[in-house]
Amino acid sequence: MFSISLAVLTLCVAVLVYWFVNFIRTRNSIPLPPGPRPWPLIGNLPHLGRYPHHSIADLARKYGPLMHLRLGLVDVVVAASASVAAQFLKTHDANFSSRPPNSGAKHIAYNYQDLVFAPYGPRWRMLRKISSVHLFSGKALDDFRHVRQEEVAVLVRALSKAVGSKAVNLAQLLNVCTVNALGRVMIGRRVFGDGSGGGDPKADEFKSMVVEVMVLAGVFNIGDFIPALEWLDLQGVARKMKKLHKRFDKFLTDIVEEHKINGGGSTHTDMLSTLISLKEDADGEGGKLTDTEIKALLLNMFTAGTDTSSSTVEWAIAELIRHPRIMGRVQQELDEVVGRDRLVTELDLAHLTYLQAVVKETFRLHPSTPLSLPRMAAESCEINGYHIPKGATLLVNVWAIARDPAQWEDPLEFRPERFLPGGEKPNVDVRGNDFEVIPFGAGRRICAGMSLGLRMVHLLTASLVQAFDWELEDGLMPEKLNMDEAYGLTLQRAAPLMVHPRPRLTQHVYQASS
């Protein structure tokens, strides 16, 4: 009885706060951006629907590419065009360099002690510098090129052995490959067995954990937007996050403790050895690294650094299966540049112009993060004649921008030629400078692992297309392939891609892959 009375009292206080804040904001002489009329207290949360990136794109077509939503008590501004995104992420980037409070960062990412959600400041700069220098620099990526190629070769061998058997779940095998490639760099060993992914329950569990964290992190949690109701956990999100965090923390703690016991060698040949050494040696304004920050960094790498790459490659192969002409052209380019007597390597990628266009088009239609990770206005500002309040949350609808008919011809069609010389966007890149396609974001908080992600996606896509022809499960025709999305923080396929690989290279290539 007491808890019910307290809940009612809390609700009444929240309503009063809502109306007071709303009254103060309406007195501002510069208007907020246009947007749908909010409901009392809960604001525009009901407008988000099952697929928020779709719903918000629909609203932007009505209210414009710079739009205001009120989610609970929180002002949210949405950028849904390339020009508006550039205003936020380039012109006003410094003002939007921190993250708003959210339950995912609190309950999963070690209470904001990771790189992705850490507040903008000295600690974040320290974590970013460590990642940039020791893991994602050009030298670091080149030093571990052989690791990525070896793990992709293991994947190719595993797929070649699946010929004639039941259809394989490509998403699962891709995830094992990306986790093991990153694991060898991060901790000096594979995370899952021999890398083949065949019936490994630990790999299955890890994939499910990563998917769950992305789903939970993509939920618009009422407690994040109406703080007075956070303790009620109305959607059960916080409870699930805490439970998932315990599983991840055990996984990461075991890795760190085992590494301390066995050692990674005094030469710091893997990232974890370097991180452990930085516990004592870290210099500069950020201070020393803590055990919690080490685990938080590992959490970032093993979730955002693996799931995004594997899901993008899965989308790419699905699109190529649906478009046999495009698949044939990619395979022809690979045959001409690489041949059929060896596997493609990272050094070949620069010469595969059409493959690069295919990857760009995949990033355009299927960005791994459809709604950018939220940012927060440190101070109020004015953009395109509209008032952006201090503390407002910024969402960039990356998915909608890449499908904007004002920017793209036939935006829903998979057409890699648009990125080739003579196409509509031959010079557009995906590295954060051209805002028509920003799958990694842009500005100060651009994805730290962008360079690694680009290499991994290109190499995996090239290898799978070069080494195999692909048939769908149960003789399904390509045009009938389910291309529905399952919304979360990352853009997963609603149904995993189940395929039969058919080897197309000389036999010794698959044997050499061992």
**Binding-site residues from annotation for heme:** 447
Do 377 and 352 contact (CB within 8 A), yes or no?
no
CA dist list (Å): 187 to 66, 253, 328, 514: 43, 12, 38, 22
Structure tokens at 3: 């808890």
Amino acid at 252: L
What's 95's DSSP letter? G
At 149, phi and psi to the nearest 5?
-65, -40
Cα–Cα distance between 325 and 310 in angstroms, integer? 24
Kindly report the number of other CB atoms within 10 A of residue 72's CB atom.
23
Give Cβ neighbours of residue 421 (< 8 Å, ≥ 6 apart): none
Binding site residue list: 447
For the chain, the straight-line distance linking the first and the last C-alpha, in angstroms and rounded, comes to 66
Do 504 and 468 contact (CB within 8 A), yes or no?
yes
- How would DSSP label each residue in 98-142? BPPP-HHHHHTTTTTTSTTTSPTTHHHHHHHHHHHHHTSSHHHHH
- As to burial, measured by CB atoms within 10 angstroms (0-12 exposed, 13-18 middle, 19+ buried), residue 239 is exposed
With H, G, I as helix, E, B as strand and everything else as coil, classify residue 33.
coil
